[in-house]
Amino acid sequence: MIHSRRSRTAMAVAVLGAFVVLSAGCGLFSRSKDKPPEASQSTPPPAPAPATAPTPVPPPPPRRPAGARIADEESLKRLVQGKTTKAEVRDLFGIPQEIVIAPGLETFIYSRDQTSGWLSRTTERVEMLTVRFDTQGILKDFEYRYSGK
What string of DSSP letters covers 56-104?
A: PPPPPPPPPPTT--S--HHHHHT--TTT-BHHHHHHHH-S-SEEEEETT
Q: Provide the residue type at 58 as one letter.
A: P
Rg, Å, the chain Cα set: 35
Please give the pLDDT value at position 72: 85
Please give the pLDDT value at position 108: 97
Grouped pLDDT means (10 residues each) for the chain, 149 residues: 60 61 54 53 69 70 58 91 96 93 95 79 84 96 88
Please give the pLDDT value at position 121: 75
Domain positions in the chain: 73-148
Please give the pLDDT value at position 12: 66
Please give the pLDDT value at position 52: 74
Helix (H) or strand (E) holding 107: strand 105-116
CB 45 within 8 A of CB 74: no
Contacts for 76 with CB less than 8 Å, ≥ 6 apart: 142, 144
What's the pTM? 0.53
Please give the pLDDT value at position 81: 96
Please give the pLDDT value at position 110: 94
Please give the pLDDT value at position 134: 96
Please give the pLDDT value at position 115: 76
Please give the pLDDT value at position 56: 76
Please give the pLDDT value at position 25: 56
Q: Per DSSP, what are the bridge partners of residue 106? A: 101, 133
How many whole angstroms separate alpha carbon 69 and alpha carbon 96? 14
